[in-house]
Structure 1
């Protein structure tokens, strides 16, 4: 917990801001690389994994969607294998259930061929299924064809984060929660990090602040030509009696022009079956209800120079997503494209997550992971999906960068 204590007499080698899975994985990787390092991790919430890490669908992605050669593609492939290996070592439940990407019309069939080529370039085993093979494998799913990705799995990333945090503290690292950063000052020999009640000095700072990444960067004196835009994704849980209606993750063929993957059916490691998410511009970076609102966050959205271009480029999609967020029948229509047996009464227990998406001032979405550095700081600016899958190699990459700069 955050204590009233100046703390400035202790010099840390590394201070990590952010207790999501990327931040905790970074702290762990620093200590793996240098067990003698004095490391502290600071999280503003009272618990770790409080935001994106604890509000996602728990998918271990194989990496089929991502541009060959991109950080997303490289780190997702390594991360998927490493996550499974880590989970097995730590006794964390996971299941390699596989994913079916289902084409329901000719346009999606054409797009699926592009995914076949992308799978080849990214080294992913992808099996094409015709209508009959799809129906045999998943009798409740309708489509013209499907692409089966065997390596995709499910896990609870909160458990992964908790295991990483335990390893950090066992290696001598400190974790402080309930401590919101108010000031960051970089000088020639150190970085000073302060909350309202406590101050730390560190030789290197690593910021993995997720939905607050732009604000933390500005606190640290970085010029920001981007802003974090929050997009809320709403999920429904299906009734317990329908939790076994599919064996695999069931995804639509995504629109390559959009950064989101569409409404999908997701078995969870806890035995539930969810359907979602939608994707609407949220009125709060950390607000998880349909009408959750933060005046500060809304003011930042309205002042953002790229807002108009984002709105114009995604107008039709945005209207559809907002309609579905408040009109359950519209949401149901999206899911029934590939699962026609779903009924309105099946959509129960709505819950949400918020995706932090970096958008440049010209209105373009940052598609890949984005990291900005100064002499003594490394800031993870954009780490959207598949950041949870990729967290271990992302943390390794950041740790290597921070250690090399010492």
Structure 2
């Protein structure tokens, strides 16, 4: 019997495993992952941004963990010689109507104790000469990294501590005994004193298997990206974001310079018809049925019909997608971009149609469930791991 079993080998589950090993050096720790490698889904499909925390409500988990995580993830990269760059980011207003929203965002950045400053269009052009805007916010500590490599280092450290990893192991049932949990998996049964659910896109499913009703249901949103052709990479030097629409729960299409030097543009946000549906044609009847029979989903649709239709149009029309990009960099043309890998965001949705806008972690007697940890969970992973481990009594 293990002392701890973590379900999910993404960046949050691995951070939890690493921090458990530090706090309980004599404990037996196992990570079970249903794929044949770690970091296969949200972690392995994200844009590699080291976020600052400017977008998140003051005093929320996201604001606190991202601000601290921005520093701790950089220190981790330095300590283990992993690739990173603190290249900074601009959030820019391209319309007069966005200026009050930009000011509100700036004030929120100050409330979150971030290194942010207002920047004029001329100041922005000094670093990003191809951006067209009225003014913006400079976020100095935003950066880029490779979270897959960070995950591999987390795993190396877990194994050095004596922790184990079982791949190709899907949890299909959970039974409770008086002092333990028995996990039924595709590779046999596993018994543990304490279970931690970090299963991302299937976090609500595992919570239900454990006999609890999750406070929200996971709805998968696919984010589709284009990338600039290599000869056009000169158009972007850092990270360039629009002012987010406060009525819509996603950040809008933006430009991200990746750690390998390429430049990705996106993502949009469209409903995925399968939890791990990275292609438009991916479909799972059971999972689709779960989405369309959930009342919270239809309330979400009613709230965001117009924005949702724009996202769908961008999904099927390259012209529409590029027009959104041209709001930031007018020089970008339809011939400058090619489609590339999409990601899927696990977003928790409440019955009333509101998206859970913070990390959601619930604890029971001998289990803990991370029910919502979308972006910026990678940036905040070390802090989330520390927090979770501190909730567990010795």
TM class by smaller structure: over 0.9
Equivalent residue number for residue 130 of structure 2? 140
**1:102–1:251 CA contact under 8 A, matched in 2:** yes
CA distance, structure 2, for counterparts of residue 128 and residue 226 of structure 1? 37
Alpha-carbon distance, 1:23 to partner: 0.2
| Corresponding residue pairs, total | 394
Query: Shift of residue 233 of structure 1?
Result: 0.3
After TM superposition, the structure 1 stretch with the greater mean CA deviation from structure 2, 288-297 or 69-78, is 288-297
Aligned partners of 1:67 and 1:74: how far apart in 2? 9
Q: Shift in Å at residue 153 of structure 1?
A: 0.4
The aligned residue for residue 259 of structure 1 is 249
Where do 1:173-322 residues align within 5 Å?
173-322=163-312
Specify whether residues 225 and 33 from structure 1 end up closer, same or farther in structure 2 by C-alpha distance, changes over 3 A only. closer
1:157–1:388 contact (8 Å) kept in structure 2: yes
Deviations 1:15-56 (A, max 9, x none): 000000000000000001111111000000111000000001
Name the SS for the 2:138 alignment partner.
strand
Shift of 1:136: 2.4
Task: Spell out, residue by residue over 1:257-277, the C-alpha distance to the aligned partner (whole angstroms, 9 max, x if none).
Answer: 222111000000011001000
TM-superposed deviation, 1:337: 0.4
Match of 2:379 in 1: 389
The answer to whether the 8 Å contact 2:117/2:138 transfers is yes
Contact kept in structure 2, 1:186 and 1:376, CA below 8 Å: no
Aligned to 2:160: 170
Q: Distance in 1 between matches of 2:339 and 2:153?
A: 28
The CA RMSD measured in Å over matched residues stands at 1.0
Q: 1:124 to 1:202 in 2, by over 3 A?
A: same
Structure 1, gaps ≥5 residues long? 1-10
Instruction: Determine if the alignment matches structure 1 residue 344 to structure 2 residue 334.
Output: yes
Distance 1:244 1:194 in 2: 52
CA distance in 1, matches of 2:365, 2:39: 28
Q: CA deviation at 1:191?
A: 0.8
Q: CA–CA distance in 1 between the matches of 2:180 and 2:114?
A: 44
User: Structure 1: how far apart are the matches of 2:198 and 2:123?
Assistant: 43
Q: Which residue in the other structure is 2:116 paired with?
A: 126
- TM-superposed CA distance for 1:226, in Å, is 1.8
CA distance in 1, matches of 2:206, 2:216: 13
The residue that corresponds to 2:345 in the other structure is 355
Quick one: distance in 2 between partners of 1:397 and 1:257?
Answer: 30
Contact 2:214 2:371 in 1 (8 A): no
Matches within 5 A, 1:19-98: 19-98=9-88
Structure 1 segments of 4+ aligned residues over 3 angstroms from their partners = none
1:244/1:273 contact within 8 Å kept: no
TM-score calculated relative to the size of structure 1: 0.96
